[in-house]
Structure 1
């Protein structure tokens, strides 16, 4: 029976179904000898050597009773195998047992395996089948080249989310399991036309009126602004550009950009420095004017930030 590139077999011995383990172990990408030793030690009562007819002739193979297969599959932890075979291991854990059982029951064998019983507190066989059918239906709806990968993706998502095989999911998690299997994104699946969302509007408005309303010096110096029918004149003095009582429209804009998540630290540093230097210039100019008024016809000399006058 073909299974993801491997040929699997089911044979009947003494009215019991057995499956050769070499094709399964090799198909999963595991080391055969290590798994064979584990089968002989831990599953000794379900293991036997059987002559199997293959394409290359009859071969003696180590076989495991089909009723024991799922037990062996669950001894393999996907988290402990090589990353490149992890998805393949999960695929075998989720599908191999059921596929072989279906092949067995629909073949010529007259003694099908007894119906499965659910574990206490776990989902029922009917619920297991519902999850499986959902996975198979979604997978088979895709282009053929995407089907296997899609099914692995869904099984892996369930395994990763619940930390166990889908057959061991708690009964109160059944609805959640269906939801996960139904909505996990699949490569090759048509998602329908996606509406293009409009670009978010970045609304920044800081008109001259804002400066008048928020800067007392600007307001007092431009009382007639906007009242004329002609183009209004707008006077800007040194005092309006610096000082603790002079609200800066430029810094307001920078703050808005910062709140929106933009890094505008460079222009902010520049504006703050310019305002500081303008303040120093204003202070110096006032010092010069004051010194000139007091000096009269005397000689003025400046040292640092202070103005001194000498009798000429």
Structure 2
């Protein structure tokens, strides 16, 4: 049976995201061909350097389309593959397109995945998990337990492995299961097992500052890319740094973004929020411009 996938337009070309056991994978042929590169050469590279991170999925992007089998790379490893592409070694006619994909595509895919905007994504949608996430948030705040510990209880009960696997009915079952444990006082017992000497690593205010640091870094990298052609024309001594630093930092910036997304999962935010946490609107939803 084909895997369900959803497409997102990227500079005029459709690219796809496949969900497999709660984890996003990217069909790579549309990406490579969208950049104008040779698929067979990149296919060999994927099988050689990224063999442990690829899977073959047969997907059906729409009801009226034919199922097609693609080599798919885990989204977590997408930026690593992008760094293996050297713009200086490709055909000059596609160099700008390759640089555009390198600078924007990874964040665009993470942003699209975070949106969960397509109704074709199987299992539960983000809005279906909201009551469960609220319940988990309150338990962690009241009893000092970690999110991992609480979801471990849920997965043990329901036989699941990841929260994205939970259907709407399973989410309701999970809330009922947690409520029963609260009433029985089981989480009070868990508090005694917590090491008193291990403080929380960052306060919420500190996490907010780190999120803004990430945002400023993205802006600065974008400005450097805009200024680099001017410096090159002027033969300025900083031309090389303004060319290489924004591109070389892509992987680190993307990794920092994913870590901050993970550490701020307990912070609720929406597009109308107007305090310092509005930075999460961009981090979680909008693909950052570079």
Structure whose alpha-carbon radius of gyration is higher: 1
TM-score range, shorter chain: 0.3 to 0.5
TM-score by length of 2: 0.44
Which one scores higher on RCO, CA 8 angstroms, separation ≥ 6? 2
- Structure ranking higher in helix proportion: 2
